[in-house]
């Protein structure tokens, strides 16, 4: 049986339609390259300090970004150094002396990283204290005194940065 022109045309059309389309890898690689560069450029503006959901930091208009140093976290129940529990607040609130668990841990960490020169020894080691905004001053004073006795004298307090309303605002970073 002879096929009509219409039937032949439809068969040709269906043969062309059955061909699978190829994935254009060049344009896909271009998109991924752009994504990688975007992520590399924007990854440098991340928060340096670890985030603890149990701690609400005090707010400040400080412009200075925190340096990557040892972090002491004072939560509502415990004191943590580098993520490790070193003291419980229930046991240290009544004691007027230094916090022995914190001092012991800081001395251990200091012994693992000796000073480079005499100038660095005079300045002391750097440390960040991350405490809840409702932490009593008496407790913060004990923590800072213990850090100073363990030769961590360059103390910084972690705060959350808020936008400053006044363009002539003073730098409110807290360092000791």
Angle of CA points 82, 100, 79, to nearest 5°:
35
What's the number of CA atoms in the CB half-sphere (13 Å) around residue 172? 15
Q: Are 11 and 92 found together in one domain?
A: no
CATH code where residue 111 lies: 3.30.420
Q: What angle, rounded to 10 degrees, do the helices at 137-149 and 100-112 form?
A: 40
Residue 166 lies in a domain: no
In a domain, 174, yes or no: no
Closest by CA position to 112, among listed 148, 73, 82? 82
Q: Say if 175 falls within a structural domain.
A: no
Do residues 83 and 124 share a domain? yes
pTM: 0.59
The per-residue pLDDT string of the chain (176 residues; one tens digit each, 9 = 90 and over) reads 788 989 888 888 877 666 666 777 788 888 899 999 888 887 765 555 556 666 766 666 666 665 667 888 888 888 888 888 888 888 887 777 788 888 888 888 888 877 777 777 777 788 888 888 788 888 888 888 888 888 888 888 877 767 666 544 444 444 54
Task: Let me know whether 149 and 108 are in one domain.
Answer: yes
**Which residue segment(s) compose the domain that 29 sits in?**
5-45
The answer to whether residue 51 is domain-embedded is: no
Please check whether residue 53 lies inside any domain of the structure.
Answer: no
Bridge partners of residue 84, in order along the sequence: 81
């Amino acid at each position: 049986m002879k096929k009509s022109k219409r039937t032949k045309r439809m068969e040709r059309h269906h043969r062309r339609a059955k061909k699978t389309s190829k994935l254009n890898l060049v344009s896909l690689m271009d998109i991924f390259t752009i994504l990688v560069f975007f992520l590399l450029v924007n990854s440098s503006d991340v928060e340096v300090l670890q985030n603890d959901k149990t701690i609400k930091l005090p707010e400040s208009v400080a412009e200075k970004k925190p340096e990557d140093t040892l972090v002491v976290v004072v939560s509502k129940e415990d004191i943590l150094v580098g993520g490790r529990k070193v003291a419980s607040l229930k046991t240290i609130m009544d004691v007027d002396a230094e916090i022995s668990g914190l001092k012991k841990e800081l001395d251990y960490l200091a012994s693992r990283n000796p000073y480079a020169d005499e100038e660095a020894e005079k300045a002391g080691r750097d440390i960040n204290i991350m405490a809840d905004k409702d932490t009593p001053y008496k407790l913060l004073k004990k923590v800072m005194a213990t850090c100073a006795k363990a030769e961590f004298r360059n103390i910084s307090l972690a705060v959350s940065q808020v936008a400053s309303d006044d363009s002539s605002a003073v730098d409110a970073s807290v360092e000791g």
